[in-house]
Amino acid sequence: GDSVTQMEGPVTLSEEAFLTINCTYTATGYPSLFWYVQYPGEGLQLLLKATKADDKGSNKGFEATYRKETTSFHLEKGSVQVSDSAVYFCALSDGSGYSTLTFGKGTMLLVSP
């Protein structure tokens, strides 16, 4: 079945550092890929998405590119802020739908001043 693998956390960075959170997937067909973020005390929020190969999703300074050849969707940000501290989840859905998502285990990001 479909699966998503994320790097283990926590990831600890200083403010303004470069962030990469790795995500690879296994899926049949052509999945859509997502990054969700959960800030402390809040629910999951869609951060960005990509629906086909070579698409780049971006939002709030975060980017991720759908790489079919390496089955990856790594999350990057050039300069993190303390307010980016949260848990980040990589996810996929089959086809172009959003409904049944397969999630990774989540990666906690801690940014210190």
Per CB under 8 A, residues contacting another protein are 4, 36, 41-46, 49, 89, 91, 96-106
Query: Is 50 within 8 Å of 65 (Cβ atoms)?
Result: yes
Q: Which is nearer to another protein, 18 or 98 (CB)?
A: 98
Q: Which is nearer to another protein, 1 or 113 (CB)?
A: 1
- The size of the chain, in residues, is 113
CA distance 55 to 33: 10
How far apart are CB 18 and another protein at their closest, in Å? Answer: 27
Q: Which is nearer to another protein, 78 or 95 (CB)?
A: 95
Residue 97 in tokens: 């739908």
C-alpha of 98 from chain center: 15
C-alpha of 80 from chain center: 15
